[in-house]
Structures are given as C-alpha cells and as structure tokens.
Amino acid sequence: MLKIVKNILLAGAMLTNITAFAGITPNPVAPSVGAKSYILQDFASGRVIAESNADERLPPASITKLMTAYVISHELDAGNIKLDDEVLISEKAWRMVGSRSFIEVNTKVPVEALLRGMIIQSGNDAAVALAEHVAGSEETFAQMMNQYAQKLGMKDTNYSNSTGLPDPNHYTTARDIATLSAAIIRDFPDHYKWYAEKEYKYNDITQHNRNKLLWRDSSVDGLKTGHTEEAGYCLAASAIRDDMRLISVVLGTHSDNARAQETQKLLNYGFRFFETHELYPAMTEIADGRVWKGSDKQVQLGLAKPLSVTVPRGRYKELVASTNVQKPIIAPVAAGAELGEVEIRLGDEVIAKQHLVAINAIEQGGWFSRLIDSILMLIWG
C-alpha cells in the first residue's frame, strides 16, 4: 500500500529519530570556517547543515566536561546521588591544574555547587571531586563516561579523565560532541539552564563563563568552551531562534575570539538559510493497515518518535510524504510492531525515513473470522 501526501502541514514534537537523511545542497554554500573541525546540526531533525572534518579524532579539552556533567545528571536522575549531597574534597581534586573552582582540600561541598562550578567556571577540581564522589576514582568514572558515549552512538570518542587534560587516549570528534550536546539538552532540560549562566561565585570568588557568545548573542544558551595548547580553542554552542534550535561545534581555532566568531558564522548561516518543521508527533495516526485474522480489521499506524525535517528556506511546501505499509498484516499485532515506513522527499531526494509502528494492539479473532480470512487470503492471493 503506497499513500502520497503533498504539502505536509502536521505539527509535532521536537525530537526525532531519522534513520536515513540524504543531503540537500543549500544556496549559498556555508561560510569558510577557521577551525580544524566543525559541524552545524539542527537539534530537532538531526540534519547536518554544514561540516568539515567532523569525524576527525581530536583532543576536546574542557568540552570533555559535557560528558562528565551528563553522567552526573544521570546519577542524579537515578537517585544515586542528590544535589545537596556533601562531597569530601580529596587532595587530588584540590591539586588539579588549569581552570579551577577554588574548592579547599578536606572540606565538604554540595554536588550542586560542584556541578555548577564545573559547567560555568570549567573547574577541573570540581570535575575530579564529582568523579570521585560517584565512582570512587576518576579512572573508574572515565569508564562510565565511555559506556554512556557508546550508548549515545559516539563512535569515535574515548575518555581517559573527567577534565579534558591532555592524554593520548583522550579524544572525540565534532560530530560526537554534537550528539552529546543534543542529549544534554534533550534529557536534562532542568540542568541545561546552568549552561547559560554568565558567572558563578564560590568561596567569595566570582568567575565568568568563557563562552563569549552568551554576551554577544541572546539566542545562545550554552554549552561549553575548551582550551589546551594541543586542542586549540574549542566551543560547543547551541542557540534557539523562532523555535528552531541549532547546535554548533568548532574545534582547533586559534584564539578565544576566533572560536566565538567562527561559531557565530555557522549559527547565523544556519538560521538565515534553513528552516525546521515538525511534521508528525509520536504515536499519532498517519496511516492504517488491513489486519487479517484479527479481532479488528484495521490497525492504526504512526511513529514511535516524533519526526522533524530541516530544509532550505522557502522549500517547505515542496515536501512530499509517502507511506509504505506491510502486506499482509496478520493478527496478533503487538503495539509498537514495525509494519511499514514513512518517507519524506524534497524533489528527487529522500530527506527523512522512519518506521511506521502499530499504535494499538490487535488480538486474534475468533475461529470463524480466522477461517473466513484464510479463505479470502487464498482467493485474493
């Protein structure tokens, strides 16, 4: 069964799980970006708008702390730790070099203060203290970081510490950082608000967020800077304008100002020349399918997760959706069973594809209805 729907105008939720996405060449092309590696991606659709060397393994410096924060947020969500837990500061944490939150050895500091200090001030001491509190040692915590990276599909990432200090076995990619950034925004919105804070005061010392775009562009609300001599100046950023959220990652720029300027280029380009539309919410009927030998003759079909698309501005009305439903569908049918797919095209290119699933379960029919359907299936092939 093939159904075609033109000029899609359905409203849906933000997050999507696109299984295939062919690129569309925008006009004009993306600006030149002075970075070793970069990527610009839409949050809702997953569409990569611009990229260069996005899969090159590079040292991430303090952008590492995005994963440290992600693991801590999971631990909080699971109830294993609490924001008001008191963390005993070890000598190792206290002696950490680089950016610091100025915590004192053998004192007790709440998890929330350490987490905010790590996110806003980029405190290496806070990162190690949190790692030791959760896992006993920073080395064990790094194993947890790698496990979460695998779950998120970060294929070219390996962590050896919680801070991002240089290590030959500590690396990631712009694409993987974009994946992690999206997960932070999606999974922990209450904690994400801290990434927009411009300063944080602890131990009577006020420090400013190093993300200059928080002052220059009101649409930017995160995420994290990083710098070492080896990594250069790096920035993972996110901004939202008119309900469209973009994620940008630049790695290996030559200065603090450069990482902000190159990121601003990418964000402005994406917002100016592209638009994102929510097409289908999750578990809302898109199509139906004939069910044989069931208690009902029709099953409602929808998407397990919402679907959004990002297209060049002005081309939304050219979108065409088609559904391809499995035949035959024979009861019993479990809710969530994959029974076809929906495909979104722009011109000749498939820009999104996702499985159709059963919204409702269908039980087997009685013996007489099953017999009749068996005969009809034989007759009609």
Catalytic residue annotation: 62, 65, 122
Instruction: Please work out, in degrees rounded to the nearest 5, the angle formed at the alpha carbon of residue 258 by the alpha carbons of 30 and 220.
Output: 70
Rounded Cα distance between 136 and 69, Å, is 16
Taking CA atoms, 194 is separated from 81, 116, 123, in Å, by 19, 7, 14
Beta strand 338-346 pairing with 319-325? antiparallel
DSSP-derived pairing of the beta strands 287-292 and 298-302: antiparallel
Q: Which residue has the tokens 């380009």?
A: 269
143: phi then psi, degrees, rounded to nearest 5: -65, -40
Give the DSSP per-residue string, 118-177.
Answer: HHHH--HHHHHHHHHHHHSSHHHHHHHHHHHHHHTT-TT-B-S-SS----TT-BB-HHHH
127 burial (CB, 10 Å; 0-12 / 13-18 / 19+) is: buried
HSE, CB side, 13 Å, CA atoms: give it for residue 289.
31
């409203």: which residue's tokens?
Answer: 11
* C-beta of residue 266 within 8 angstroms of C-beta of residue 280: no
* Angle between the N-to-C axes of helices 65-77 and 111-121, in degrees from 0 to 180, rounded to the nearest 10: 150
**Exposed, middle or buried by CB within 10 Å (0-12, 13-18, 19+), for 334?**
exposed
